[in-house]
Amino acid sequence: IAFSRDGKQILSGSNDRTVRLWDTESGQLIHTLQGHTRAVSNIAFSPDGKQIVSSSWDKTVRLWDTETGQLIHPLQGHTSYVDAIAFSPDGKQILSGSHDSTLRLWDTETGQLIHPLQGHTSYVTAIAFSPDGKQILSSSNDRTVRLWDTETGQLIHTFEGHTSRVNAIAFSRDGKQILSGSNDRTVRLWGNYSWQEALKEGCDQLQFHPDLVAPKNNKAGEACLKHASWEDKTKAEFLVRQGRAILQKEQNIKSAVKKFKKAQKLNPDIDLNPETEEKDKDPKIVAHLLAAPVKIQFGAILAEEGKIKEAISTYQEAQKLNPDIDLNPETEEKDKDPKIVAHLLAAKGKVEQGRRLAMNREIEQAISVYQEAQKLNPDIDLNPETEEKDKDPKIVAHLLAAKVKVKQGWRLAMNREIEQAISTYQEAQKLYPDIDLNPSTKEIDKDPKKVANGGTERV
């Protein structure tokens, strides 16, 4: 998502392959930009807001007119999906970075490729123009940061030192310093000026990046708190975000409480849990309330994996943190019995396991697993895909296996392997005599020969 510079419009890109432009004041849709054939991975407004650029897993970059929503240029050339895009400061060029390990610089007026920038040995993770637009910065899964000349497309320098993928990069405001953040849990500063001055710049630019508050990057976060030119209110908000991240990733309540208390010293009026209507100011209570839902998530995973005792124990831990917690948020009523919830979710996991076994034609094993599910929850629906509740393990296992056979028969028929298709349809009927051999029609078709011969005519 992105705001236009004047804040009057919002841009969003989605897995539904579209880019949508919205009016900030009214919330109304202005344009739906259609053309990508796979998920949209990134979007950006031009500096003057008159153009929009989008990238996609369909390997293309597309330039659009903001006012009309019409496509200006499809920018094609990458050989793998494109994740990173950026406009130059003057809006005359577009930069794209791809999983094909290259960057490409495009002319916005003509849509023509200016330079392919080649040198990375793995996929590109982030890109940026220098403030004056004369240099380009890129980072990659190859653990390097590379600096390029915009005019010539030539590599200026390779910054090496990170020991894992580099995810985030930034120029300082004067363009003379570079900051990079990596999965190796370090933030690195590159340049000629003092690291303190450059760190301030980098911390300001990366202040709201989720990696900076992650527990694994605690040292980087502490460095920003110490050296960045943040006001006490900003530091307090950052500490609260650190505390929440600790609870989400590590469940370390003591560390989270410590962060919350530090935040309160800087800003006594800070709300430690902005998601609630009332202002929460007790560090311990807030930490417990935030940690409990994470326990619920872990408990659900354990239950669906069949680790019922561990799930019950985890649910009980959640209740100690928040006695009023709903152990199963998926249901309308509040569930507070750890054993019942663990059994319900374990049964759900067994049903899914049984479905996979049945569709893999391991029918006896599927029946056995369905029976295990019923022991855990006698009222469980063994086939949630149907409107009625199915409770017969044998019938459900045979039905699902038969459906797989029907699909196989259809594929054989489409390939004009008619005899094999007929045989496969007959196998489906042995498993489930009432099976519809042609679900695409309104009427139930039960004649293998008729369906197999008709299958060759389908579109």
Q: Among 49-63, 219-233, 406-420, 441-455, whose mean pLDDT is lowest?
A: 441-455
Going by C-alpha positions, the residue among 188, 147, 148 that lies closest to residue 166 is 188
CA angle 47, 51, 54 (to 5 degrees): 100
Element (H, E) at 326: none
Segment 139-142 long-range contacts (CB within 8 Å, at least 24 positions apart): 139/166, 139/167, 139/168, 139/169, 139/180, 140/101, 140/165, 140/166, 141/165, 141/166, 142/101
Per-residue pLDDT band for 455 (boundaries 50, 70, 90) equals: low
Q: How confident is the model at residue 25 (pLDDT cuts 50, 70, 90)?
A: very high
pLDDT at residue 127 greater than cutoff 60: yes
Provide the residue type at 273 as one letter. Answer: N
Determine contact, residues 123/99, Cβ cutoff 8 Å.
yes
Q: 2.60.40.420, 3.30.420.40, 1.10.3720.10, 2.130.10.10: which CATH number matches 2-160? A: 2.130.10.10
CB count within 10 Å of CB 90 equals: 13
Q: How many helices (H) and strands (E) does the chain have?
A: 12, 19
Location of structure tokens 């985890």: 314
SS (H, E, C) 234-256: HHHHHHHHHHHHHHHHCCCHHHH
Angle at 170 between CA 172 and CA 226, to 5 degrees: 70
Instruction: Using CA atoms of 5, 211, 171, 1 in order, give the dihedral in degrees to the nearest 10.
Output: -20
Q: Helix or strand or coil: residue 137?
A: strand
Each residue's pLDDT tens digit, 346-358: 999 999 999 999 9
pLDDT in tens, 106-117: 999 999 999 999
Calculate the CA 247 to chain-centre distance: 20
What's the maximum distance between 2 C-alpha atoms anywhere in the chain? 81
pTM (2 d.p.):
0.51
Q: Taking 70 as the threshold, does the pLDDT of residue 458 lie above it?
A: no
Nearest to 111 by CA among 92, 131, 135: 92
Whether the pLDDT of residue 129 is over 70: the answer is yes
Phi, psi of 23 (to 5 degrees): -90, 125
| C-alpha distances in Å from residue 49, one per residue of 6, 29, 87, 100, 205 | 8, 17, 11, 29, 21
Mean pLDDT, the chain, rounded, equals 92
More confident residue, 78 or 334: 78
Residue 303 has pLDDT above 50, yes or no: yes
Strand partners, 168: 181
DSSP 444: P
Residue 457 has pLDDT above 80, yes or no: no
Share of the chain above pLDDT 70, in %: 98
pLDDT value at residue 343: 94
114 with 144: CB under 8 angstroms? no
Query: Residue 285 has which token pair?
Result: 């209570």
CA distance 150 to 175: 14
Domain ranges of the chain: 2-160, 290-391, 396-455
Burial 101-140 (b: 16+ CB within 10 A, else e): bbbbbbebeebeebbebebbeebbbbbbbbeebebbbbbb
Mean pLDDT score, 420-429: 93
* Cβ-contact 287, 264 below 8 angstroms: no
Mean pLDDT confidence for 244-254? 90
pLDDT digits (tens, 9 = 90+) for 189-228: 997 455 677 788 888 888 888 888 888 888 889 989 988 8
Q: pLDDT at position 115, please?
A: 95
Sheet holding 145-149, edge to edge: 124-129, 135-140, 145-149, 155-159
pLDDT tens per residue, range 363-402 = 999 999 999 999 999 999 999 888 888 899 999 999 999 9
Q: What is the pLDDT of residue 444?
A: 85
Tell me the per-residue pLDDT of 311-354, one tens digit each, with 9 for 90 and over: 999 999 999 999 999 999 888 888 899 999 999 999 999 999 99
Average pLDDT over residues 259-269: 95
